Structure 1
Amino acid sequence: MERVIPRSGLSARSFLMLFWAAAAIIMFSGFWSGKTLEEKRAERLQTSNETLQLLYKHAPEAKEMIAKSYGYAAFSNVGVNLVLLSAEGGTGVAHVNGSGMNTYMNMASGGVGFGLGIKDFRAVFLFENKEVFERFVNEGWEANAQADAAAKLADKGDAYGAAITVAPGIRLYKLTQNGLALQATIQGTKYWKDNELNK
């Protein structure tokens, strides 16, 4: 399944507006939920676990790969489409296998075009070592054109190949309820730490 997001005609200002619209989806949905911080954390952990189980269902080999990694981060998004504009926001959890430490994360992206977005789009990152994990969590990460190109060149016939290398020491699985989404566009998606839930 492919999500096509043509960005060539999107100005930097328009993209930033879409990005912050997506970020607002996350912040205000959490703010108005009426849930305590503990309830929000528990909900994030549950969604993260559901994402992992979905991944294992469609790519069983991923379980061993994740176990051998320093840590992983599982994300789930929500999308808002406004005629020709699309803003997406999502949440996730980054987990260290050795210590069991969890860091709560957010994600957001924006684009233009018809038929944008995949409902219930999931992403699972695998981190090779502590350095790349902490950089992703503490400094945030943005999928650039190079990462997007790598994602689109993934081998469709191999579950191991489905975990695309998107940056040194970082591999990525993309999936939906229907299975692996090897051709889904990730360019322009940003990931950062949720300050509220990491208090």
Structure 2
Amino acid sequence: MNKLSKILLISQLAIFSTMNFCQAESLWDKTTKAVSDTASKVVDTVSDATSSDTTSKEKARHTINNNAQKALSRLFRESKEAKELYNKAAGYAVFDSREVAFLIKTGFGSGVAVNRSNHSRTYMKMASGGINIGGGIKSMQMIFIFPTHKAFNAFVNDGWTAESDASAVAGDDSSSVGITLKNGTKIYQLVDTGLMLKASLSGTKYWRDTDLN
């Protein structure tokens, strides 16, 4: 290889090395920026998620409260007795649920229990299950009217399961609509077609919603 060829080769290698260094530096800058951008987006996403979670809970409570008020208004239109009991009650609870009934009946929903003395609200959940003949899907509202603070507080603090309470089975069914438990609590059930003559309580459980309280 002559001297001129060696000089040209060395020059090309120098140019190639410089280009690679510049490209590597550019790639590093891009990588650093990408990492920085990603970190910022993660922070923003966490912040948005926290904000979104708070907003979604507020919306959930707002929806439950609206549904409860609508259910009460509807109940009072259909039952003068219910309005009279409500006016004297220590508290009430309203649950909005959807029941899926095929061979096995399942139901799930949410609601709110309200202390009429101090207007405090406790958000709760419900679920039910049992054997069913037939099929279909229906929405319903269950309304509890508690005559005493003892009955109300027991429901809110301990939850309630129909099968665990003998009074749910042995309640007074002499009135025209709903079920009256031994502690005086009155239960009404509203469905798409109107106020049910007798509320269906079999396999139903109610408990405090830890997410919304």
Cross-structure match for 1:171: 186
Greater relative contact order (Cα 8 A, min sep 6): structure 1 or 2?
1
Can you list the C-alpha shifts for 1:16-57, whole angstroms capped at 9, x where unaligned?
xxxxxxxxxxxxxxxxx9761111100000110111011012
Give the AA of the match of 1:53.
S
The TM-score normalised by the length of structure 2 is: 0.67
Report the 3-state secondary structure (helix = DSSP H, G, I; strand = E; otherwise coil) of the residue aligned with 2:94. Answer: strand
- Provide the rounded CA distance (Å) in 1 between the counterparts of 2:137 and 2:160: 21
Q: Confirm or deny: 8 A CA contact 1:72 1:127 kept in the other structure.
A: yes
Query: Larger helix proportion, structure 1 or 2?
Result: 2
Task: Classify 1:99/1:91 alpha carbon distance in 2 versus 1 (closer, same or farther; 3 Å).
Answer: same
Give the counterpart of 1:59 among 79, 82, 86. Answer: 79
Change in CA separation of 1:170 and 1:105 when aligned onto 2, cut-off 3 Å: same
The equivalent of 2:168 in structure 1 is 147
Deviation at 1:184, TM superposition (A): 3.9
Confirm or deny that 1:180 pairs with 2:195: yes
Q: CA deviation at 1:113?
A: 2.6
Gapped regions of structure 2 (runs ≥ 5): 1-51
| Aligned residues of 2:107 and 2:129 also touching (Cα < 8 A) | yes
The within-5 A match list for 1:36-55 is 36-55=56-75
Q: How does 1:102-121 map to 2 (within 5 A)?
A: 102-115=121-134, 119-121=138-140
What amino acid is aligned across from residue 141 of structure 1 in structure 2?
A: W
Q: What is the RMSD computed on CA atoms of the aligned residues?
A: 2.3
User: Is the contact made by 1:86 and 1:117 (CA closer than 8 Å) also made in structure 2?
Assistant: no
Q: CA deviation at 1:111?
A: 1.1
Q: Between Structure 1 and Structure 2, whose CA radius of gyration is higher?
A: 2
Partner deviation per Cα, 1:67-106 (whole Å, 9 max, x = no partner): 210000011111224x412211011110011111111111
1:101 to 115, 120, 127: 120
